[in-house]
Amino acid sequence: MRILICRTDALGDVVISLPVQARILERCPEAEVHWLVRPYAAPLLDSLPGVSSVQLRGPDTNLLRLIQNLKPDAMLNLSHRDRAVLTAAKAAGVPIRVARARGLGQMLAATHLIWGSRRKTGRHEAENALDFLAPFGWSGGKPAPPRLNLGEAEKARGQQELAGFPHPRLGVITRGSGSGAFPSPAWWAKAFTVLADAGWKPVVLSPPEDSSLDATDLRGMMARMAACDALLGPSTGPTHIAAALGVPVVCIMGLRSNHAPSRWAPMGDPVEVIQYPGPEADLSGGMDRLEPEALLPRLSQFSLASFDHRSKTEGNC
């Protein structure tokens, strides 16, 4: 069976969809899993076990030709706003076409529709993504945590680029580009002082304009994440990536029900989530109500022994 997973939205959405591939290969090891993603997200899937191919969805992509050449047995359109892929899949004769019930054209083009609401259900987006496997009888249950990988040369590159930052290194993501909220620059300035006084060595990794490091590509940022002892950031793509790389994460989140930790927290172990206090909406400054000192007990959950081990072994990379 050849399955095409369409995930043409943000980086974090691609990461939380990786359990779909894991479930497919768990239930059908001989399956071919292909991905259709935006060019900026494609590096996430480089050398990832189980990925048969990565197809790119650009502004000029001929979707009909792409799908006809690939000849998938099924398409899962996890990106419900990108409705053109379903109409192209129907025109290409894909037998199984799964989509959310969003937009009349997409609904008419799908062979199977996902009707359930995702809001206020207490379900993680990774669980919602598994719903797309219902036509095969593979939905339900807890998703496997997403996993991303780096080569040894990439890990060594990350260590080398952060060699000027002593341990324990705390990678920082100050803000994201999606719907998630994040604290203000003034809050971060205060937080950096608190963290430094507690012995942490903060290094801003993303976005590039907030970082003192030379610009790098997505794989380069992932390598820098892997060279950190922990990572701190709001719920945004890079924070999800760090968790999927196995980096200990503290994620700052707001109070909006449609962006609650139960739905959008990074998946990994260890991951600590902290929400700001107070009634203000997080998009209008509410996240600044979180006292930076409140981060320290969450960060202390991560073993300093692991930092010592990294520091001793790093010279062998």
* Structural domains of the chain, ranges and CATH numbers in brackets: 2-136 (3.40.50.2000), 152-316 (3.40.50.2000)
Q: How many CB atoms are located within 10 Å of the residue 220 CB?
A: 18
Q: How many CB atoms lie within 10 A of CB 257?
A: 10
Q: Show the tokens assigned to 83.
A: 């409705």
CA atoms within 13 A on the CB side of 316: 5
Phi-psi group of 155: left, alpha or beta (phi > 0 → left; psi -120 to 50 → alpha; rest → beta) = alpha
User: For residue 100, what are the contacts with CB-CB under 8 A and spacing of at least 6?
Assistant: 77, 80, 106, 113, 114
Q: At 305, is the pLDDT very low, low, confident or very high (cuts 50, 70, 90)?
A: very low
pLDDT at residue 257 greater than cutoff 90: no
pLDDT-derived band at 303 (thresholds 50, 70, 90) equals low
Range with the lowest mean pLDDT among 106-120, 122-136, 182-196? 106-120
Q: What is the pTM of this model?
A: 0.93
Report the pLDDT averaged over residues 253-272. 87
pLDDT of res. 315:
44
